[in-house]
Chain A
Amino acid sequence: MRGLVTSPGLPLREALLELAYSALREGYADFVMVPSRGPGDSYSWILAGTPDALTSAEPLPPVMTVQGARALSSAAGEPSSRRILAIMRPCEARAAVEVMKLRQIDHANLTLVTMDCPGVIQLDLYDGAAEPEECDPANLRPACRQCSEFTACGDACIVRSADSNLLLPLTAKGGELASSLGLEEQGSLDEWSKRTEELRALRLGTAEGARTELRQQVAGIGRLSDFFADCIGCRACRTVCPICYCRQCFIDMKDRRSPASSHLDRSRRSGAARLVSDTLLFHIGRMAHMSISCVGCGMCEDACPAGIPVGRLVSMVGAGTSALFDYRAGKDPEEPLPLNTFVEEELHEFED
């Protein structure tokens, strides 16, 4: 891997901003999609068509209000001649790759640029005071604290190595971006590689420990039911998930409605039955549908008004489902989705 020196002397945030400005100025892109600061310390994604529109752009906001892949699927959901450069976090770029495979994003005129990600603050711990580049590690999303894929995703990534900014072209498109910006001088990636490997090993350990613990916590239908006891059925987890793109979810289908008598029977069998009744069905069904593509961004957990650690559960389940096929969500746009393909000689261990 090579790293090309960019925006020397600037902090990472400024380097990303400069990239956004030059992409528009040099005509590399018609639009830049980037988070932007709004009224009341809010952050939204904007599609900016002119350098002027980047005045409030904030490529490293302290929070993730909308998963970038979700924003991208609205802006680039069908083929278009408009070229978009999106500056997003590694987990957002990985989700975007999954969404491309689900054919909800058209990749042809899209360039994804990521960065060394410092993580984001949990939405309900964000008081508007935190400056974009400083995130108190104690307030980070739990998903961020166990993230091991915090850099080098998308078409290109800007990383910090020994206090300089280096652009890593990761795909042919990334290479085109580098040459259109006139980046040629190579810098050393040694410091970055070492730091990244250390952090990755640490986070992998944290994640494994947390998953083992969680697996025990939810083992059995009773405990799983306890896990979701506070669920208010708001479906925010589904709506904010970049992978859950269906306009109408299986759980909302009319033919799933059961008559009152079946609820009464359920109540009679165990003395009492919970209403609404579809909490577990919804969550298990959702995980069966999307966990294999889960990139572990933690957006669902951040959106949960009841504070259920649903993101950690989905990502734990996803680790299991994707391991079956040795699949890594968001890694390679060319690799087919495991459920859209098969090989004849596989999975015999599931046959009896």
Chain B
Amino acid sequence: MSDFEPRIVGFLCNWCSYAGADLAGTSRLEMPPNLVPIRVMCSSRVDPEMVTDAFLRGADGVLIAGCHPGDCHYDKGNYFARRRFAVLKKVMESLGLESERLRLSWISASEGVRFRKVVEEFTEKIRALGPNPVSRETLI
């Protein structure tokens, strides 16, 4: 499908990744417009159900981005986020759902370039995967 434009929901931590995205913007880095950012106070604020909700409502990809390990504004939120994400990935895997549509990345406030790289990579990966079949499913 050549006219497929992925829709990616990005949960970005306020202190690092959202600031990283902001830096990418103010630095006028060009990047794909496919990511819809949602600012959260910490990556550990992201309950798995927020991710499954986005997934079942047809998001083609879901990105969770937070501070690098050791840099969490709340000391250790991102470690807990990582555990929850691991549970979610394994649950999706066990059901044969496309867990590769979910991504966890660490992006600091100074990493505007890395933010662009993550968005580019993930957008291309999702583009290759094609649209999320859940978005056509009526019996959700």
Q: Do A and B touch (CB < 8 Å)?
A: yes
Tell me, yes or no, whether A44 is within 8 Å of chain B by CB: yes
Chain A stretch 96-142: residues in CB contact (< 8 A) with chain B:
none
Using a CB-CB cutoff of 8 Å, which residues 122-140 of chain B contact chain A? Answer: 138-139
Question: Which residues does chain B contribute within 8 Å of A53, judged by CB atoms?
Answer: 138
- Complex CA distance for A177 and B139, rounded to whole angstroms: 29
A46 to B139, CA, bound (A): 8
Interface footprint category on A? under 10
Interface members, chain B 81-140 (any A CB < 8 Å): 138-139
Instruction: Give how many B residues have a beta carbon under 8 Å from the other chain's beta carbons.
Output: 2
**Is A305 close to B, CB under 8 A?**
no
The docked-state distance in angstroms from the alpha carbon of A44 to that of B139 is 8
Instruction: Tell me, yes or no, whether A27 is within 8 Å of chain B by CB.
Output: no
Q: How far is the CB of A67 from chain B (nearest CB, A)?
A: 18
Instruction: Say if the beta carbon of A320 comes within 8 Å of chain B.
Output: no
Q: Which residues of chain B are within 8 angstroms of A38 by Cβ–Cβ distance?
A: 139
Residues on B with C-beta less than 8 A from A46 are: 138
Docked CA distance A280–B139 (Å): 36
Q: For residue A38, which residue of chain B has the nearest CB?
A: B139
CA A38 to CA B140, docked complex, whole Å = 12
Residue of B nearest to A47 (CB): B138
- Closest CB-CB distance, A102 to chain B, in whole Å? 27
For the complex formed, measure the closest distance between the CB of A35 and the CB atoms of chain B, giving whole angstroms. 12
Give 1 or 0 for each of A4-39: 1 = CB within 8 Å of chain B CB. 000000000000000000000000000000000011
Chain A nearest CB: distance from B78 CB in Å?
Answer: 33
In the complex, what distance in Å separates the CA atom of A38 from the CA atom of B138?
A: 10
Q: Name the B residues within 8 Å of A39 (CB-CB).
A: 139
| Minimum Cβ distance to chain A for residue B58 (Å) | 16
Chain A contacts for B138, CB-based, 8 A: 46, 53
Chain A residue numbers with a CB within 8 Å of B139 are 38-39, 44
Q: Closest A-chain residue to B138, C-beta based? A: A46
Within 8 A of B (CB), among A27-63: 38-39, 44, 46, 53
Closest beta carbon of chain B to A116's beta carbon, Å: 29
Q: How far is the CA of A46 from the CA of B138 in the complex (A)?
A: 8
* Assembly CA distance A39 to B139 (angstroms): 10
CA distance A39 to B130 in the complex (A): 24
Write the nearest CB–CB distance from A258 to chain B, whole angstroms: 32
In the assembled complex, the CB of A20 is this many whole angstroms from the nearest CB of chain B, namely 16
Chain B residue with minimal CB distance to A56?
B138
Task: Annotate A317-330 by CB proximity to B: 1 below 8 A, 0 otherwise.
Answer: 00000000000000
CA distance A227 to B121 in the complex (A): 62
Q: How far, in whole Å, are A255 and B123 apart by their CA atoms in the complex?
A: 50
Distance between Cα atoms of A242 and B139 in the complex (Å): 20
CA distance A162 to B138 in the complex (A): 39
Write out, one digit per residue, whether chain B residues 32-65 have a CB within 8 A of any chain A CB (1) or not (0).
Answer: 0000000000000000000000000000000000
A residues near B (Cβ < 8 Å) are 38-39, 44, 46, 53
- Can you name 5 A-B pairs with beta carbons within 8 Å? A38-B139, A39-B139, A44-B139, A46-B138, A53-B138
